[in-house]
Structure 1
Amino acid sequence: MKGKIKGRPDFLLLFLTVLLVCFGLAMVFSASSSIVTFKHESPWYYALRQSIFAFAGLVIMLFFMSIPFPMWKKVAPFLLLMSLLLLVLVLIGGVNINGAKRWFFVGGFTFQPAEFTKLSLIVYLSALISKKGERIRDFKKGVLPLLVMVGFILLLIMMQPDFGTVLILFFISSTLIVIGGIDLRHLFMLSLGLVPIFIYLAFSKSYRLQRISSFLNPFDDQSGSGYQLIQSFYALAHGGFTGTGFGRSVQKLFYLPEAHTDFIFAVIGEEFGFVGTSLLVFVFFLFLWRGFTAAIRSNDPFGVMLGMGIVTMIFIQFLLNLGAVTGSLPITGVPLPFISYGGSSLILCMASTGILLSISRDNNRRWQERNNNSQEMK
């Protein structure tokens, strides 16, 4: 009887995911339909492509939800090896867009290996750290091998270059290592050593320096480095408290660059105002709370690590995107999870959510088994 029990997934988490994706499809259409006709015949061009990504993501999410999450521990080395191979290949034969080689062009679509690397690194670190147990407190045998492996991956991504993904992977890795039980003295020493490295990376390239200067005072160069952020301010200010209404954004009409990708939150703010953006933020935090709950309720250390890594990934991307759009953080080119146009990011987020749903199914299965056992005892 016990073997036949299949736990139910967290339906609230599943509903919130579908809700975010559907809202994202509507906003991609709104943000792109007015200007896309100058490049393509149909105003539905980006929305239809995003719908294809969403359908693929839904299939993958439901498939991953049905797979027992411990299976990922077995394939973790293979996933990491595949990621490393793709990161090397994209530097050799990837598509160069605006000076960056981050994408493969396949069948009319682009694929970004760095997005796949986020999930494969989470799986691998979760498997390795949960296996190490208390040995993680030993710097040479526990932490150092992890740092070497993560550092090599970050180096490959910096060569693309993609500083935003480097930041995300850094925060994910740090979170998992801290959850794994690293000695706080080692953490403090590592932090001191990494600060000058990140300062150098931030100031070593002129375009990154421009992003920092435009973040500090965008109005110093209103037609140059500060232009995008200023247009985002205008969009959010124009939206006011209740917004202009769906489809009635002005800034998306050739004023705000990347309106349907990295800066789609500004269009949401203009069309739905403070009320709409607050509701969206609430839905995101409700999603993160359900994901966090699923992770910490797992009785498997690997499940806890895996779930926390996924929640951290989505939270950091959400935070970096909102920070960039509102001028609270420098622009890093990180998309808004589930909302921004882009197949690699959307499929990654939905696939990762499928794993969270698998963890929640296991939690509910155990609860149901305990409940059945207690009833049999009576």
Structure 2
Amino acid sequence: MTHKMKGRPDFLLLFSTILLVGFGLVMIFSASSAKAVFTHQSSWYYVLKQGSFAGIGLLLMLICMGLPFSIWKKAGPSLMIFSLILLVSVLIVGTNINGAKRWFVVGGFNIQPSEFTKLSIIVYLSALISKKGEGIQSFKKGLLPLLIMVGLILALVMKQPDFGTVLILAFIAGTIIMIGGIDLRHLLMLGLGLVPMFIYLAISQSYRLKRIQTFLNPLDNQSDSGYQLMQSLYALGHGGLLGTGLGRSVQKLFYLPEAHTDFIFAVIGEELGLLGTTLFLLVFFLFFWRGFAAAIQSHDPFGVILGMGLVSMIGIQFLLNLGAVTGSIPVTGVPLPFISYGGSSLILCMASTGILLSISRDNNRRRKEQLETSLK
């Protein structure tokens, strides 16, 4: 009877997730209403679509929270095969949008397979590394098979092309491999090999090179490639300490491109000011703190690696988005987790949080069992 007892999920992790998703819906309505009226004759167009994605995400989060996280260990290979099929299929029958084949368009909704691939690669690598144990320190038998699979995934995503997602997947894979106990010599060799490759990828296409040049000298290109970044910085500066007030952003009125997607943080900064963005970031940090706590407290090596991988995935996207919006790094086109408009990203983040909540439930169940045993 005790063995079947289910623990409670981490309340702060659940609370911070619901808070972020709810706040995201409010900010999407604020940032998109003018564009929605202009293009769809309804100020509610984008927020209603995002609300439907949030509903799907909530359902998946609750399902994943209710399932024991250990089931994902067996699902790893199947998820990876499914991801490979999707990545190949999108290159063949996917919809070309702005020169990139990243999406399936189904019933008016854009589905991005590379988002699902992030979860697949985390589950697959976590399962394999936890199974190998110290065998991961062997390059030929431990690390090389993982690198071949990761390399194949990165090549397919790069073919779309989607350099931002390639960066995220590489960071995720690197984080999981490090947590799994890779030999530091192999890690150094891997790093030295990857850096030149990523530099080449970054400068091999003119539009990527232009993004780097714009990042270095945004003022020299503010009417062209630097326009979006300068409008973002104007928005953040206009917000000041207390902001212009919710719904009163000026930059969202067709000055700032992608105001409700990749650059929504600029609208948050303009409307809520430094004080509001600080509170917003504190909620995110609460999420990361409780997510990492759930991962490192797991009794199961698979749970530790899986949890750390999931939190790292969301954390990497968070940093890349904020870095681009504030001009700290070149623009990569990465959405802000839980906040930016986009169904694939939101559903992935919420389902991933459900798995983290499942890990936290298992931790709490075990603590309760140990307490009851000690009291007998």
**TM-score, length-normalised on structure 2?**
0.99
Shift of 1:280: 1.1
* 2:15 aligned residue: 15
Shift of 1:281: 1.1
Structure 2 counterpart SS, 1:39: helix
Counterpart-to-counterpart distance in 2, 1:144 and 1:72 = 23
Shift of 1:300: 0.3
Confirm whether residue 131 of structure 1 aligns to residue 131 of structure 2.
yes
Shift of 1:41: 1.6
Confirm whether residue 172 of structure 1 aligns to residue 180 of structure 2.
no
Give the AA of the match of 2:167: L
Shift of 1:206: 0.4
Give the AA of the match of 1:126: S
Structure 2 counterpart SS, 1:362: helix
Confirm whether residue 95 of structure 1 aligns to residue 95 of structure 2.
yes
Structure 2 counterpart SS, 1:2: coil
* 2:81 aligned residue: 81
Q: Number of residues paired by the alignment?
A: 376
* 2:141 aligned residue: 141
Structure 1 counterpart SS, 2:261: coil
Counterpart-to-counterpart distance in 1, 2:182 and 2:221 = 44
- Over the aligned positions, Cα root-mean-square deviation in angstroms equals 0.6
* 1:63 aligned residue: 63
Structure 2 counterpart SS, 1:37: helix
Confirm whether residue 210 of structure 1 aligns to residue 210 of structure 2.
yes
Counterpart-to-counterpart distance in 1, 2:303 and 2:162 = 29
Counterpart-to-counterpart distance in 1, 2:280 and 2:201 = 33
Shift of 1:214: 0.8
* 2:276 aligned residue: 276
* 1:326 aligned residue: 326
Counterpart-to-counterpart distance in 1, 2:67 and 2:26 = 30
Give the AA of the match of 1:192: L
Counterpart-to-counterpart distance in 1, 2:67 and 2:202 = 40
* 2:360 aligned residue: 360
Shift of 1:4: 3.4
* 2:313 aligned residue: 313
Counterpart-to-counterpart distance in 1, 2:333 and 2:4 = 46
Counterpart-to-counterpart distance in 2, 1:349 and 1:193 = 30
Confirm whether residue 163 of structure 1 aligns to residue 163 of structure 2.
yes
Is the 2:265–2:322 contact (alpha carbons within 8 Å) kept by the matching residues of 1? yes
* 2:27 aligned residue: 27
Give the AA of the match of 2:360: S
Counterpart-to-counterpart distance in 2, 1:168 and 1:199 = 15
Deviation sequence 1:24-44 (CA, Å, 0-9, x none)? 000000000012111102100
Counterpart-to-counterpart distance in 1, 2:316 and 2:302 = 21
Give the AA of the match of 1:93: V
Deviation sequence 1:27-80 (CA, Å, 0-9, x none)? 000000012111102100000000000011000000000000000011111100
Structure 2 counterpart SS, 1:182: coil
Q: Which consecutive residues of structure 1, in runs of 5 or more, have no partner in the other structure?
A: none
Counterpart-to-counterpart distance in 2, 1:217 and 1:285 = 31
Counterpart-to-counterpart distance in 2, 1:344 and 1:194 = 28
Counterpart-to-counterpart distance in 1, 2:216 and 2:273 = 25
Identity score, percent: 73
Give the AA of the match of 1:52: S
Give the AA of the match of 2:275: V
Shift of 1:3: 2.5
Counterpart-to-counterpart distance in 1, 2:199 and 2:338 = 30
Counterpart-to-counterpart distance in 1, 2:53 and 2:225 = 32
* 2:257 aligned residue: 257
Give the AA of the match of 1:84: L
Counterpart-to-counterpart distance in 2, 1:124 and 1:72 = 9
* 2:201 aligned residue: 201
Give the AA of the match of 2:41: E
Structure 2 counterpart SS, 1:199: helix
Counterpart-to-counterpart distance in 2, 1:347 and 1:35 = 24
Shift of 1:18: 0.3
Shift of 1:262: 0.1
Deviation sequence 1:196-253 (CA, Å, 0-9, x none)? 1011000000000011011111111111110000000100000001100000000000
* 2:111 aligned residue: 111
Shift of 1:107: 1.0
Shift of 1:301: 0.4
Q: Which consecutive residues of structure 2, in runs of 5 or more, have no partner in the other structure?
A: none
Counterpart-to-counterpart distance in 2, 1:350 and 1:275 = 27
